[in-house]
Amino acid sequence: MNARSPFGWIAVQAQKPAFFALLILTLLVGISLQALGGPLRTAVAPSGIVAFEFAGTLQKADAIVASWGQQGQAFAGLNLGLDCLFLFSYALCIGLGCVLISNALSSRSRILSSLGLILAWAQLGAGLLDSLENYALIRVLLGSERAYWPAIARWCAFPKFVIVAVGILYIVLAAIFLLWKTRLSGAAERH
């Protein structure tokens, strides 16, 4: 498979610094989202905004919104607004991480290298799913009575979380594999 990187527009020598800049941005925005999410944890929505993402029905979504009260709804709006920045940062960060690992694996495992490129593209898809999910949730938060908005949010949230989790897992496991191979090579050279 001869896949192309979605980050070909970034010079190879700039990809690692770009990854670390995106990682810092992603962590900062993620911490901010956690702080904003505190008031969204209620008895009806113990996982806060995530419960809202997975409500699936208008009845459940409306119950969650009602449990937040007016102040909580304002926090939910802020959370969804900030999530628009987060979806760009995490999708680009994880995608670029997949590309960096893919490049490092290119001479060791063609299959794992190709998988990294596929996952890099998939992260961009996760960002698109997240943006559609946010739009659906904003519609519900603004009082839409359309039953399909919570269903759309749920159907976008599930694959988004799976894609992101698989991308992170790929980066972590492939990095461990590369470190292990590097140590084995170093040990073989010393003997």
User: Across residues 137-148, what is the average pLDDT?
Assistant: 96
pLDDT at residue number 1: 41
Say if CB 185 and CB 169 are below 8 A apart: no
Question: DSSP string spanning 133-184?
Answer: HHHHHHHHHTT---THHHHHHHHHHHHHHHHHHHHHHHHHHHHHHHHHHHHH
Distances (CA, A) of 177 to 17, 48, 101, 164, 168: 22, 36, 10, 20, 14
Banded pLDDT at 181 (limits 50, 70, 90):
confident
Domain boundaries, the chain: 14-190
**pLDDT-wise least confident of 62-66, 158-162, 187-191:** 187-191
This prediction has a pTM of 0.91
pLDDT in tens, 27-67: 999 999 999 999 999 999 999 999 999 999 999 999 999 99
**Percent of the chain whose pLDDT exceeds 90:** 88
| pLDDT bucket at 149, cuts 50 / 70 / 90 | very high
What average pLDDT does range 120-124 have in this prediction? Answer: 98
148, 185 contact by CB (below 8 A): no
187 pLDDT band, cuts 50/70/90, is low
> Mind listing the pLDDT tens digit for each residue in 78-112?
999 999 999 999 999 999 999 999 999 988 889 99
Distance CA 187, CA 131 (A): 47
The pLDDT value given to residue 182: 78
Enclosing H/E stretch for 96: helix 58-105
DSSP 21-85: HHHHHHHHHHHHHHHHHGGG--SS-TTTHHHHHT--SHHHHHHHHHHHHHHHHHHHHHHHHHHHH
